[in-house]
Chain A
Amino acid sequence: MKFILRRLAFYAVAAWVALTLNFFIPRAMPGNAVEAIMSKFPNLQPSAYRALEAMLGVGHPGSLWNQYLAYLDDVVHLNFGTDVMEYPAQVSTLLAQTIPWTLTLVGTATVIAFFVGTGLGIVAGWRHGGWLERGLPGLMFLQAMPYFFLALILIELLAVRAHLFPIGQGYAGGLVPGWHAAFIGSAIYHALLPALTIVITSVAGWMLQMRNVMITTIGEDYVVAAQAKGLRSRRVVFTYAARNALLPQLQGFGLALGFVVSGALIMEIVFSYPGIGLLLLSAVSSDDFPLMQAIFLVITFAVLIANLIVDVLLVAFDPRVRARETA
């Protein structure tokens, strides 16, 4: 437990850093953000201006410390302010609409890619030199490719030319969102190509990493000892080699999560998928600062929580980590 508690404390610190950065960046940046927004949206209500000014710290609405406390209070209550583009909608409302889409798509696809990639990596590592090796440069090419570029290619080939998949959107145009079969079916159909994009690009990465870790692990004495014991290959591969190789692989997964999520968001834009990515694009193009900052916070917290889950898994899998507590 102590390990988990220490990790929790770390994530708390990271969260606090993120929050504080979020608070200070608008105040620290050169240029007058409020004027920029005013010129873009001349028809905003005065109350919107005041809210913006409060958020950006313009006009000295109280001491910095008080502003900070007010800000933290807002965040805790999930009050991210009033949106600028879609005034008077609340930012939190917009987020609540889009988060489920991104969560399901990116979450499912990433987990699938991790399992498939790791599994292939185990085989590639054990059979170092086998036919899977031939595919390595191709895999590296896939891994180096930005998600959204592969998305463009896949759409071009499979949707536009071959008409196998819809070109974009989250669901077919005429449907009304709700928990009924037609909608869910359409949603799944529209999620297939984006999910495929995520899986194809990231599988390469997981497979390469697992392969490398496996090769190193197979060289360890305890794997040689396992073979000396005359155990069957399957037992050696999985219980002796892979179970140990999984530990650094999981750690790598935690580290990579930030990149995976970021890449997926950009990819959503290509698909016009109704997730956070598309929201981000419109926020950027219209200088919708409250929304941009809220998205940053939401994504950061999601990644921190996911990392915590990975840490819990590590504790479950590695007795040495568990032992550090009882000691």
Chain B
Amino acid sequence: MTAAPPIVAEPPALPAPEVKAQRPGQWRRLPLKAKSGAILLGIFVLAGIIGPEVSPYDPSYQNPAPSLALHPPDAAHLLGTTQSGQDVLSQLLVGIRMTLELAAIVGVVATALSVIVGVTAAFLGGFWDELLSLASNVFLVIPSLPLLIVLLGYLPQKGQLATILVLSGLGWPWGARVIRAQTLTIRSRDFVAAARETGESTWRILAVEIVPNEISLIAANFVNTVLYAIGTSVALAFIGLADLSSWSLGTMLYWAQSQQALELGAWWWFIPPGLAVALIGTALVLLNTGIDELGNPRLRDASHAIRVGGHRQRPADPTPVLHAAPPRSQRTKLGSFVHSFSRSSLLDEGRQP
């Protein structure tokens, strides 16, 4: 997976006060990116949940009929068959669930570790902070995939559990760094000092004052970790470091590669799992960008931008001027009539003559 972690040179600005969930229309106000990401992800999660129940065949079932080996998609096998007559669609459905499951668990575990390490380092300060930060930085700079290869290589069993363990073990440093930075910033703020003064216990301060303010950061961290888990687990499986008798998106690609699906022209074997990985990844990136934009409205795509004189303002353009002169319509009469019903006609006062 090429998704590099987003740059965090400094802690991001504190997110704006969270909009209360009771307000209606909150879904509508989320940035488009977050919405589309969530929907796309939702489709895959749904597929993961019900998929294996509705898959037409047992993914491991090898249909012995030679004519059905490596067969392109048709009515009986919507995504064709593999070299040994297995149904690709069934494998895909099971694979989506396995991959998502693994990624979700790694996400939860690694994020929890990040939060613990990050908050502890920020709170304890001094020697422990230095040590934990050093550990985080060291494991950040050491490339994880080669290390994971060595780790998994030596483990006799390379199944889901093993993969989850090693991925979680190496997936926390980035989040820990970010959360530590943010915790330090919040910790130095007045309301925490006030809580300390009134004698609130450290645990309470943590739970009530600090963590709630970092929710969107933790959410972004979770999404990133899931992204990392998917990409890395698929890469590991692709080179054969997984339980090759189980069906995940990565093992599908491994078998496709090792059975030379590419050379044999069996595009229906390697495209679906690869595409699934890419789409899930895209959904996560969209979601993450959306969360980013929620906290930093400047990044929002320019669909909210002011249009004056019919052209969009770039960020560094001079402040636009609205004039009271009546706008010269560039539409025909019928066009204007129809246009007056649209919402964008509200902005028409900006059109310059």
Indicate whether A and B interact. Answer: yes
> B296 to A216, Cβ gap below 8 A?
yes
> B2 to A152, Cβ gap below 8 A?
no
* Per-position binary interface string of chain B over residues 163-199, scored 1 when its CB falls under 8 Å from any chain A CB and 0 otherwise: 0000000000000000000000000000000000000
Query: With a CB–CB cut-off of 8 A, which chain A residues contact B253?
Result: 148-149
Closest to B135 in A: A17
| Among A71-79, A84-92, A172-180, A291-299, the stretch in contact with B | A291-299
Contact A261:B155 (CB < 8 A) given known A144-B278, A266-B238: no
> B154 to A223, Cβ gap below 8 A?
no
Contact A145:B2 (CB < 8 A) given known A152-B274, A280-B239: yes
Tell me if A111 is interfacial: C-beta within 8 Å of chain B.
no
Contact A258:B143 (CB < 8 A) given known A227-B316, A280-B149, A281-B240: yes
Query: With a CB–CB cut-off of 8 A, which chain B residues contact A82?
Result: none
- Expressed in whole angstroms, the minimum distance between the Cβ of B89 and any Cβ of chain A is 19
Contact A143:B2 (CB < 8 A) given known A25-B151, A136-B301: yes
CA distance A282 to B147 in the complex (A): 17
Closest to B231 in A: A146
Of A140, A156, A227, A255, the residue contacting B7 (CB under 8 A) is A255
CA distance A36 to B282 in the complex (A): 40
Of A26, A127, A146, A300, the residue contacting B235 (CB under 8 A) is A146
Q: Which of B138-156 contact A (CB under 8 A)?
A: 138, 140-147, 149-151, 153-156
> B149 to A292, Cβ gap below 8 A?
yes
Query: With a CB–CB cut-off of 8 A, which chain A residues contact B61?
Result: none
Of A17, A147, A223, the residue contacting B316 (CB under 8 A) is A223
| Among B50-58, B72-80, B307-315, the stretch in contact with A | B307-315
> A143 to B262, Cβ gap below 8 A?
no
Closest to B289 in A: A140
Tell me if B106 is interfacial: C-beta within 8 Å of chain A.
no
- Expressed in whole angstroms, the minimum distance between the Cβ of B163 and any Cβ of chain A is 14
- Expressed in whole angstroms, the minimum distance between the Cβ of B313 and any Cβ of chain A is 7
Of B1, B234, B270, the residue contacting A152 (CB under 8 A) is B270
Query: With a CB–CB cut-off of 8 A, which chain A residues contact B302?
Result: 128-129, 133
> A126 to B316, Cβ gap below 8 A?
yes
* Per-position binary interface string of chain A over residues 167-209, scored 1 when its CB falls under 8 Å from any chain B CB and 0 otherwise: 1000000000000000000000000000000000110010001
- Expressed in whole angstroms, the minimum distance between the Cβ of B166 and any Cβ of chain A is 11
Of B6, B141, B286, the residue contacting A307 (CB under 8 A) is B141
Tell me if B346 is interfacial: C-beta within 8 Å of chain A.
no
Tell me if A100 is interfacial: C-beta within 8 Å of chain B.
no
User: Chain A: interface residue count, which band?
Assistant: 35 or more
Contact A144:B227 (CB < 8 A) given known A133-B301, A280-B149: yes
> B284 to A21, Cβ gap below 8 A?
no
Contact A145:B281 (CB < 8 A) given known A202-B2, A292-B153: yes
CA distance A202 to B143 in the complex (A): 17
| Among A6-14, A44-52, A57-65, A101-109, the stretch in contact with B | A6-14
Tell me if B259 is interfacial: C-beta within 8 Å of chain A.
no
Q: Which of B94-114 contact A (CB under 8 A)?
A: none
Number of B positions contacting A (CB below 8 A): 69
- Expressed in whole angstroms, the minimum distance between the Cβ of B197 and any Cβ of chain A is 34
> A144 to B3, Cβ gap below 8 A?
yes
Tell me if A122 is interfacial: C-beta within 8 Å of chain B.
no
- Expressed in whole angstroms, the minimum distance between the Cβ of B36 and any Cβ of chain A is 8
CA distance A147 to B257 in the complex (A): 14
CA distance A38 to B145 in the complex (A): 27
Query: With a CB–CB cut-off of 8 A, which chain B residues contact A307?
Result: 141
CA distance A25 to B154 in the complex (A): 8
Tell me if B132 is interfacial: C-beta within 8 Å of chain A.
no
CA distance A281 to B153 in the complex (A): 11
Of B1, B134, B147, B298, the residue contacting A296 (CB under 8 A) is B147
Query: With a CB–CB cut-off of 8 A, which chain B residues contact A212?
Result: 6-7, 292, 299
Tell me if B241 is interfacial: C-beta within 8 Å of chain A.
yes
CA distance A212 to B313 in the complex (A): 17
Of B9, B153, B275, B316, the residue contacting A248 (CB under 8 A) is B9
Contact A128:B142 (CB < 8 A) given known A269-B257, A289-B154: no
Tell me if A321 is interfacial: C-beta within 8 Å of chain B.
no
- Expressed in whole angstroms, the minimum distance between the Cβ of A135 and any Cβ of chain B is 12
Closest to A298 in B: B146
Tell me if A265 is interfacial: C-beta within 8 Å of chain B.
yes
Of B3, B138, B267, the residue contacting A143 (CB under 8 A) is B3
CA distance A217 to B276 in the complex (A): 36
Of A22, A156, A213, the residue contacting B267 (CB under 8 A) is A156
- Expressed in whole angstroms, the minimum distance between the Cβ of A266 and any Cβ of chain B is 5
> B257 to A285, Cβ gap below 8 A?
no
Of A14, A155, A248, the residue contacting B142 (CB under 8 A) is A14
User: B residues within 8 Å of A by Cβ?
Assistant: 1-7, 9-10, 33, 36, 134, 137-138, 140-147, 149-151, 153-156, 227, 231, 234-235, 238-241, 253, 257, 262-263, 265, 267, 270-271, 274-275, 277-282, 284-286, 289, 292, 296, 298-299, 301-302, 305, 312-316
Query: Which 8 A-B pairs have CB atoms at the shortest separation, nearest pair first?
Result: A129-B302, A144-B281, A258-B143, A256-B4, A252-B7, A262-B145, A31-B156, A248-B9
Additional pairs, 20, CB under 8 Å, beyond known A129-B305, A152-B274, A284-B241: A30-B156, A129-B313, A137-B33, A144-B280, A145-B278, A146-B274, A201-B2, A233-B316, A247-B9, A248-B10, A252-B9, A258-B145, A259-B3, A259-B4, A259-B145, A262-B145, A263-B2, A284-B239, A292-B149, A295-B146
24 A-B residue pairings within 8 Å (CB atoms)? A11-B141, A26-B154, A29-B151, A29-B154, A29-B155, A30-B156, A31-B154, A31-B155, A31-B156, A36-B156, A128-B315, A144-B1, A156-B262, A160-B263, A212-B7, A249-B7, A252-B9, A255-B7, A256-B5, A257-B143, A259-B5, A269-B239, A284-B241, A292-B149
